Amino acid sequence: MAQGPPLSALRKDFPILSRRIDGKRLVYLDNAATTHKPVQVLGRIEEYYRRENANVHRGMHTLSQEATDAYEGARERIARFIGARSPKEIIFTKNATEALNLAAGSLSELAVGEGEKIVSTEMEHHSNLVPWQQAARRHGARLELLEVDMRTGLLDEGTFKEKIAGAKIVSLTHSSNVLGTINPVAKIAAMARKEGAYVVVDGAQSVPHMRVDVGSLGCDMLAFSGHKMCGPTGIGVLWGKEELLERMPPFLFGGDMISEVTFSGAKWNDLPWKFEAGTPPIAQAIGLGAACDYLKKAGMGRIRAHEMRLTKLALSLLSEQGDVRVFGPADAAKKGGVVAFGMEGAHPHDIAAILDREGIAVRSGHHCAQPLTRKLGVFATSRASFYFYNTGSEVEFFARSLEKVRKVFGGRRRGA
Ligand SMILES: Cc1ncc(COP(=O)(O)O)c(C=O)c1O
């Protein structure tokens, strides 16, 4: 585990955290939606635009070579960050959504035929559900979902064997952006492999928050977004095993992804460029490389431990409030730093608006997981989500501030 200054000392790296909202200190608890950026990342992006800005791969001039070195260097950093065997396995996309669309579009073409089966889960973000629904439709295949046990907020392990049997692709989230649940990906991947199925993992809510090593997960592909891990928006990653990516057809077509073009056809470029058509998000990739360095230095083990402490505190404080219902596992060890909740007599949007008056940023809505939200029996939830720069006193202030919601709606706090 990386040693270094306490994580709270890193707050000074994030200029936005000293902002005031209507005179109140900002308490930012919307990290599952996007995270803030430290000066190290902001500085690296600025440096790129000030000193190295050029298009990559095509130029003989110095700036183009420097930009290419910085862009490809970022790929190497990111590969190391998730334990990829080679930078060739890192495909840059615009976000996790595009990465999952690439996986669903291209892998299903390779692996799924009429009447065959794709498996996902009931706790997916729309980004890892809709692309598979569409892929299944295109190939005349069916999509089956591993069920969520509503008592525990975990996937129902009893159904794994039957559902995974005969699957061609299993695609699931590592950590739910609503329930927080951390899924047993390695176990599911082992079962899927026995069936000869490919395993795709949505790491949007895990890669930023814990040590994720693709070898240990045992999956074939992993998708994540830069902006949820201290990097800029406009950059995502699809990691895939090299031998699989070699066999998959390209997803987007145009410049850079070809090796040769004639009037009647084209040959594809080598990996990873075969999947990167057009001018790539150069500054964004470089920014994400800097973000990976930053997180590595902070220590992914320490980040996970800190977020688990904050989650435990939030769960404990909310469980004392009898009119608050928390969704997802009650054990902080089984979930990421995501706490979705409802409050008797208060609409989630009103909760978020009233907390905003206290300077507290939480999200409300279906969090791009409409089917799951409906299964929870609600239209929307409020969600507080943590990162390593949050503190215990922020969590306490958030829990205490729910009293303001009660005041507005005339609710009464009951004992749990
Ligand atoms: C679990 C999960 N998957 C995928 C995504 C999509 O990420 P993006 O919007 O960056 O593509 C999100 C975003 O909230 C998410 O939480």
Question: Across the 416 residues of the chain, what is the mean pLDDT of every consecutive 10-residue run?
Answer: 77 98 97 98 98 93 97 98 98 98 98 98 98 98 98 96 98 98 98 98 98 98 98 98 98 96 97 97 98 98 98 98 97 98 96 97 96 96 98 98 93 68
Kindly give the distance from the C-alpha atom of residue 127 to the centroid of ligand 1, in angstroms, as a whole number. Answer: 7
- For residue 62, give both structure tokens: 């110095």
Q: What is the structure's pLDDT at 58?
A: 80
Contacts of 253 by beta carbon, 8 Å cutoff, 6+ apart: 266, 277
Atom of ligand 1 nearest to the CA of 233: 10
Q: What is the structure's pLDDT at 409?
A: 87
Q: What is the structure's pLDDT at 5?
A: 77
Residue type at 255 in one-letter notation: G
Q: What is the structure's pLDDT at 415?
A: 64
Cα-to-chain-centroid distance, residue 348: 23
Report the CATH architecture of 7-30+300-409: Alpha-Beta Complex (3.90)
24's enclosing H/E stretch is strand 24-25
Q: What are phi and psi of 307, to 5 degrees?
A: -65, -35
Residues 305/336, Cβ–Cβ less than 8 Å: no
Neighbouring CB atoms inside 10 A of 131's CB total 24
93's enclosing H/E stretch is strand 90-93
Query: pTM value?
Result: 0.97
Half-sphere exposure of 125 (CA within 13 A, CB side): 24
327's enclosing H/E stretch is strand 324-327
What CATH number has the domain spanning 42-297? 3.40.640.10
Pocket probe for ligand 1: among 368, 370, 381, 387, the residue whose CB has the most ligand atoms within 8 Å is: 368
Residues of the chain with CATH 3.40.640.10: 42-297
Q: What is the structure's pLDDT at 410?
A: 79
Pocket probe for ligand 1: among 132, 175, 177, the residue whose CB has the most ligand atoms within 8 Å is: 177
Catalytic annotation, residues: 368
Say whether 84 sits in a helix, a strand or coil.
coil
406's enclosing H/E stretch is helix 392-409
| Rounded distance between C-alpha atoms, residue 75 and residue 287, angstroms | 11
DSSP annotation of 174: S
